[in-house]
Chain A
Amino acid sequence: MKLKNQAVSLDTLDWQILQSIQENSKQTYSEVGRQLGVAHSTVYDRIKKLEKSGVIKKWTVDIDPEQLGINYITARMTVYTDPKESENVAKKLSESKEVLEVSMSLSEELLILAKVFARDQEVLHSFIAKTVAPLQGVLRIRTSIITKKIKEERFLIEQK
């Protein structure tokens, strides 16, 4: 399925299984099999291979904290860094439980973009002031607190 240093090669059935479980990962192997006209054991084998090759990274659940009465805020943080230290800053940010996503952008200047989660503004500020700003190589930080989410979907992968 996977050649060294190359993308994983999938056939049409693999792609169909992926598409089906992306839309609803709670389906049983039998349900997926019935939908695609194959045996549940085939679906099982294919999914195991997809897991082993790293195409399926993890199985998870998307919980809405607001429904549980848990108040929180999310913010998008842009960290301007000394280019020599950016990898290290990104690594340190990734290790923090308050940081949900870390990515780097090279569009104009080297930036680290991070999605941060905190109980309230004070906790958010304290995390940025005490943990992020003191990191070696951090030059400036811009933070936007998200006040309203209009759309949030995961990218659904389709066969090329």
Chain B
Amino acid sequence: MKSIKDLVPMVKLEERLFLASKGEIHTLASSSPSRILRELSRKNAFYFFTSVGNYTGHRAMSLEEFATIIREVEAVSLAFHLYRGDFEKWSDEVLEDHELTERIRAVKLLEPVGNALRDQLDFTVTNRLEELKGTQ
């Protein structure tokens, strides 16, 4: 199986912003790190389900909580949301982090299952979280 590192260019955020400012890359600009890392309302939180209508009781009210829950929640829940596109949608529409959205989309293309899925999502989200924290 290909590694997430082969598909997702882990270029530092500052470098991407620099390249974007020079017009060398054209990605949809994400919101500011502080906005992406903000505390969300209950309405905008991410609720983890294992299947249609079956809520695990885990909810993420920030990207940081999201990263923590990925390590704790049942793998079946991660698969349910990844392949429905729920993570991408939340990242894009609620967090407004288009960079993370692209990276999650890349994870989906790898079609990981079980703990490989957890590890790749964990790697992707934690990495992005650290980048964002580093720029604050």
**Is the beta-carbon distance between B53 and A124 smaller than 8 angstroms?**
yes
Chain A positions 112 through 153: 1 when the CB is less than 8 Å from some CB of chain B, otherwise 0:
000000000100110011101110101111110100000000
Check B42 for interface membership: any CB of A closer than 8 A: yes
B47 contacts A133, CB within 8 Å?
A: yes
Which residues of the other chain, B, contact A125 by a CB distance below 8 angstroms?
49, 52-53
Q: How many chain-A residues does the 8 Å CB contact rule pick out?
A: 20
Question: A138 contacts B45, CB within 8 Å?
Answer: no
User: Range of interface residues on chain B?
Assistant: 10 to 19
Query: Which residue of chain A is the closest to B43 with respect to CB atoms?
Result: A134
B59 contacts which chain A residues (CB < 8 A)? 133
**B45, A141: Cβ atoms under 8 Å?**
no
In the complex, whether A89 has a CB less than 8 A from a CB of chain B is no
| Alpha-carbon distance A128/B56, docked complex (angstroms) | 12
Q: Judge whether B53 and A140 touch: CB under 8 Å.
A: no
Interface of B is mostly: strand
Judging by beta carbons under 8 Å apart, are B55 and A134 in contact? no
In contact, B52 and A142 (Cβ under 8 angstroms): no
Residues of chain A within 8 A of B45, CB atoms compared: 134
A90 at the interface (CB under 8 A from B): no
CB <8 Å contact, B47 and A129: yes
| Contact B43 A140, beta carbon cutoff 8 Å | no
**Distance A124 CA – B49 CA, assembled complex (angstroms):** 13
Q: Determine the distance from Cα of A140 to Cα of B47 in the docked complex, in whole angstroms.
A: 10
Q: C-beta contact mask, B30-73 vs A, less than 8 Å → 1, else 0? A: 00000000000011010101001111110100000000000000
Question: Does A47 have its Cβ within 8 Å of any Cβ on chain B?
Answer: no
Whole-angstrom distance between the alpha carbons of A142 and B42 in the complex? 20
User: Within the complex, what minimum Cβ distance (angstroms) separates A144 from chain B?
Assistant: 8
Starting from the known contacts A134-B43, A140-B57, A145-B52, 12 additional A-B residue pairs (CB-CB under 8 Å) come to A75-B53, A77-B53, A80-B57, A124-B53, A125-B49, A129-B55, A134-B47, A141-B55, A142-B53, A143-B52, A143-B53, A145-B53
Name B residues whose Cβ lies closer than 8 Å to a Cβ of A.
42-43, 45, 47, 49, 52-57, 59
The 4 nearest A-B residue pairs measured at CB: A143-B53, A141-B55, A133-B47, A140-B57
A-B contacts, 12 of them at CB < 8 A, read A77-B53, A125-B52, A125-B53, A128-B52, A133-B59, A134-B42, A134-B43, A136-B42, A138-B55, A139-B57, A140-B56, A140-B57
